[in-house]
Every structure is written in C-alpha cells, then in structure tokens.
Structure 1
Amino acid sequence: MTKVKSVRVDKLLGSMGYGSRTEIARLGKVGGIVLDGVDLTDVSKRIAVTADLTERMLIDGRPLDPPAGLVLILNKPLGMTCSHKEDGALVYDVLPERWRRRDPAISTIGRLDKETSGLLLLTDDGDLLHRVISPKRHVAKVYRATLARPLVGTEGPLFEAGGLVLEGEDKPLAPASLEVISPTEARLTVTEGRYHMVRRMFAAVGNHVEALHRERVGGLALPDDLAPGEWRLATQGEIDSLFV
C-alpha cells in the first residue's frame, strides 16, 4: 500500500506558489483557506496530500491547484520560447503566474524552438521528464514539416537508413521515418532530440523548413480540442501513452 504523504498547510501552499508562510498564515486567519467546508485557520496543521485534495480544499474561493506531480499538455503557438528567462513571450506566460514560484519548478519536457508549434509537455516531475527525453527510451516525436522546395524522393531512404551526419557534428543520426504528405509536406518521426534537428536534417538534403508543427510524442497526440496557446492537465492514461 502506498503511504500517503502529510505536510504542513503553509509548507504545501508555499511550495505551490501561493505565497510566503507569513502570507499564507494571514490568508488562513481571514478565512481564505477552506478544507472540507470548514475554515482552516491554523496553517501549521498537517494534512494528507491525497488525490482528492484539489476537490476538498478552496483557496480564496477557488479549488486548490494540483500538487506536485502534474503534467501539462500545451498547444504551443508560434512566437513563444521554451525558457524561463529569455526576452519576449514565454510558454510559461500562459500558466497561472503563481506557478512560476512552485517548488519543484515546472519545466518543459524537451523544447520546441520559437518558430515551431504544436504539442509541448510541461511537468514538475523530474523523473518523468528524464524518462521521456532519455536517448535510451527512444520516445518518438512526430513533426509535420512544410518545405520550401519539393521533395526529390531520396530523403526517406536516407533518413531511414540512419547514419546521416549533421553539419557541425560527428555522431550519426539514428534512423528516422519520413511520410510524404504532398510534394512540399512531410511527416517526420525521430527518436532523438538534437538542437534544431528536423530543420537541420532537411537542410542536409538541400531543403528548407518553412513551417514545423509537432503532432505527437510517443503515443500521445496533440488533442484536437486544444487551440494554440491553450493547455490542460494530462490524464494518467495520456502520461502512460508516452511510452507506448
């Protein structure tokens, strides 16, 4: 049987970005923390962090945020950077502001560059993050690329054979599969996560990627109901599908 973790209310809420211990104590005193319909004024009280806590606890009248272990699915729009510190629009800007103060911190699982859209996962679960990006796991990533010039027909066999060496590197790429959608569109499945990998692969065969969209990671496809810039929590089934 899994042991249920218990923690002080002020420590729990502080780790979730709701404020300092002093701020949380003040919130409790004015009735801003409610557990099971009762005001929780003593924030030094220890409570069990159970799966249903988000349904049982209200903070300022709103359901408690998910505790540590969350996984988010984001439809990343163009123009956003997968960074905590760079200038301009960041993927973290679409999340609640207090989530930037969570500990453990929320990070992207891998990155999509500023000009790439599509499926992006974020989590505060370091073990899961490393499982997904580990080269040993061979988790597939599927991209749809729009190209500047028509495919010539030799790209698929070259990518699938493995052994292609990108400019500036000496380690050959692992095999990747190419599905032709139209003369200037292709779906590429890779199992590595090198810097600007898909763009550089097409550059190596004399083409240029004009638009790039990630459709899938492992067995998880970008949900149809997520518009660009929208996100939601992943279900356990969706998390499990990453490794299918």
Structure 2
Amino acid sequence: MAAFLAVVRIAIVRLDKFICDATGLTRSLAKKALHRGDIAVDAISIKDPGFKVTDGMQVTLAGEPLALPGTRYLMLNKPQDTLCSTIDEYYPSVLSLLDIPRAELLHIAGRLDADTTGLVLLTDDGQWSHCVTSPKKICGKRYRVQLAEPLIDTAEAQFAAGVQLHGERELTQPALLQRLSATEVLLTISEGKYHQVKRMFAALGNKVVGLHREAVGDIELDPSLALGEWRALTEAEIASVRG
C-alpha cells in the first residue's frame, strides 16, 4: 500500500517542534540536526530551533522534504496473530502493517483480539475515535462468526433480550443475530466488552472458532483489501461516524 500524507495547514510553529512532529525525532536529536546544519527552510540553512515555520515554507532534513502527517482516517483488514496495541512480546502490532509516516500517532478505534480478523479503524482524530468507541454512542459492530456446534433454536430471541455474561452484573445490550447456517452467523452488537462475542456464545453453551469483523457503523470492510492491507476512508465514511 502506497504511503501518503494528509493535506494539512499549519499555524506558526517552532522549527524544532516541526522537525519532531514530522520525523519522530526527540527534541534533543532535532536540535543536534539543526546544529549540524542538516535543516534548511526554503533552501536556506537554519540553525535556530526557535525559527518560526508557517504555511508555504519548505523544510528539509539532509535535503529530504519534511511534512506534518495531518489528520488521517484509515481502514485495515486485520490478519490473525496481530494485536490492536503498540507493544507486545509475542505478536506484532497492526501499526507495523502501515507504511506511512508516524503511524505510532494513530489511535486504534475499537480493538480486536489477536485471533480475530477484519475491519479495524485507525485515526489521529481523538474525537472521531471516541465516537466509534464510546458506550454512549450507538455504533454497531457486525461480525461473521463461525461456531463449534450448531446454534440453539432460541439464540436470536436470547440475544435480542440480552445475555448474562459470566462475571457481569447486567445483561448485554440487545444484539441482532442473523443465522446463515447451523454453525455460521452474523452478529451485530453495540457494545465492546472484553471478549464480548466469544462470551455471548459461551453463555449459550457454544464456542467461537472463527471471528471476522465486517462493519463498524455504516463503514463496511472494503472487499478489495486482502488481509494486512489498508486504505484511507472516504469523506462519506468519515462523516458517517460523526453523524
């Protein structure tokens, strides 16, 4: 997947901060680059860390242009054995799949377990991410679920009424269950409790053996994305969460 930068307008910002935000360098390393004469603004060498950068100025590091990442909204088709976190000793982070600058700045809006595949949303817009994950927001998540045993006849009614999860005092919020076969279903939930889908079926005496998220709200996983691939969200997809 090709790297990209979002279009971004900047206010007046110190040159050392601009370098840090654009490259991920620490403030100390940015100042060392300035001291060495590695930084130029509009082709003029600048060593002053407090130099003011404004819109339209071209900043380079050792001749390579720098740019701020801007606000990004992405979808990723998560493969198995990856984690929706930044650090783990066993599995790589989904952020390692993104060939874009400063991927570590992205929020993972709605996490999936290591063995769960499918739609993951990523952004550096904290308010937008909150709209996806906040329990106060109604943002349904649809999963395709493979089960170890045939589903009981009363499953749809039980999920619609709410399920008592082990260790929970309250029932789950009503969920929509669509039966595709005896052992394959679509499940849409509006919450994000720990291992919720697996625990819901466990409460019915069944076991999830395959779990794939297909949609979050009105955002559907792009069928053209192979596992591990990503793309930027469209304006309509971004707006659907805010709405």
Change (3 A) 1:178 1:85: same
Deviates more, 1:79-88 or 1:172-181: 79-88
Provide the rounded CA distance (Å) in 2 between the counterparts of 1:242 and 1:131. 7
Q: Rate the CA distance shift 1:209–1:29 in 2: closer, same or farther, 3 A.
A: same
Q: CA separation in 1, counterparts of 2:55 and 2:142?
A: 36
Match of 2:203 in 1: 204
- Paired with 2:45 and 2:229, the residues of 1 have a C-alpha distance of 35
Whole-angstrom distance in 1 between the partners of 2:219 and 2:228? 18
The normalised TM-score by structure 1 is 0.80
Structure 1: gaps (5+ residues): none
- Counterpart of 2:76 (choices 74, 77, 92) is 74
Q: How many angstroms apart in 2 are the aligned matches of 1:195 and 1:150? A: 24
User: Cα deviation per residue 1:156-179 (whole Å; 9 max; x = unaligned)?
Assistant: 1111123x2101111111100011
What residue in structure 1 maps to residue 45 of structure 2? 41
1:11 matches 2:17 = yes
Q: For the structure 1 residues 204 and 40, does the alpha-carbon distance in structure 2 shift closer, same or farther, using more than 3 Å as the test?
A: farther
Tell me the CA shift for residue 45 of structure 1. 3.9
Q: Spell out the pairing of 1:1-244 with structure 2 (5 A cutoff).
A: 5-21=11-27, 23-24=29-30, 26=33, 29-30=37-38, 38-39=42-43, 41-42=45-46, 44-48=50-54, 61=64, 64=67, 66-67=69-70, 69-88=71-90, 89-96=92-99, 99=102, 105-162=105-162, 164-243=163-242
Instruction: Work out the percentage of aligned pairs sharing the same amino acid.
Output: 38
Work out whether residues 76 and 231 of structure 2, in 8 Å CA contact, stay in contact via their aligned partners in 1: yes
Residue 18 (structure 1) shift: 3.5
CA contact (8 A) 1:81 1:114 kept: yes
TM-score w.r.t. length of structure 2: 0.81
User: Do the aligned partners of residues 30 and 15 (structure 1) sit closer, same or farther apart at CA in structure 2, a change above 3 Å counting?
Assistant: closer
What amino acid sits opposite 2:120 in the alignment? L
Partner of 1:12, secondary structure, is helix
Asked if 1 retains the 8 angstrom alpha-carbon contact of 2:128 and 2:241, the reply is: no
SS at match of 2:45: coil
Distance 2:14 2:116 in 1: 42
CA distance in 2 between counterparts of 1:171 and 1:49 reads 53
Any conservation in 2 of the 1:18–1:24 contact (CA below 8 Å)?
Answer: no
Q: Which moved more, 1:90-99 or 1:177-186?
A: 90-99
Matched residue SS, 1:182: coil
CA contact (8 A) 1:74 1:121 kept: yes
* One-letter identity of the residue aligned with 2:169: D
String of CA shifts for 1:201-224, please: whole Å, max 9, x gaps. Answer: 111111111100001101001112
Write the letter of the residue equivalent to 1:228: L
**Alpha-carbon contact 2:131-2:242 (below 8 Å) kept:** no
Once residues 182 and 66 of structure 1 are traced to their aligned partners in structure 2, the CA distance between those partners, rounded to angstroms, is: 45
User: For 1:5-34, what per-residue CA distance to the aligned partner results, in whole angstroms no more than 9, with x for missing partners?
Assistant: 332343123124442345446379446x67
In the comparison of the two structures, how many residue pairs are matched?
229
How many Å separate the matches in 2 of 1:70 and 1:212? 27
Q: Deviations over 1:31-72 (max 9, x none)?
A: 6x67xxx4363364433469xx9xx777664673522x3222
- One-letter amino acid matched to 2:16: D
SS of the residue 1:179 aligns to? strand
Distance in 2 between residues matched to 1:234 and 1:175, nearest whole Å: 29
